[in-house]
Structure 1
Amino acid sequence: MNEERARKLARHRVGEEHHMGIPMTDEEIKLRREYMSNMIRRVPTWQEVKDEQLDDMRIYKRGNDWYIEDQDLYEYNF
């Protein structure tokens, strides 16, 4: 299932040179970006995030809460 695959990819940053990053194909990057954009589209702080910024962010679930970790490694609950 694509959503499950996208959710797993969103837990990591794009590219292994980044903290918590893994190598991804172009298809995986596109799937991940779409998923992440959909997840944060109602959060004013991140509505205008560019693809390059998304690549250096990650989204994950801990317990019942969702978190986003930005490019500066700050975690935000949303």
Structure 2
Amino acid sequence: MLAKVIVMATGMDDIYVTLDELEIFTRAVERWDIKAMVQLLDYIKICYLAPFNATNEMVYDILNEQAINVQLK
């Protein structure tokens, strides 16, 4: 899991964006909502989806390992 985080952080650090694009990206990450990516440019959507999906996958794995049953309302 740590390796995934490091690879994603390194990749995101290498992406060139304008300040305006970075502000939109930051707001999307702060919301942590898949709907927030609608405002992002196509190439930045990939940068948003990678940590979004990886984090949700890690949380799912941890919950399964701890035998925690989470029910959504």
Question: Fold match, TM over 0.5?
Answer: no
Larger radius of gyration: 2
TM-score by length of 2: 0.36
TM-score by length of 1: 0.34
**Higher percent of residues as strand:** 1
Higher relative contact order (CA 8 A, sep 6+): 2
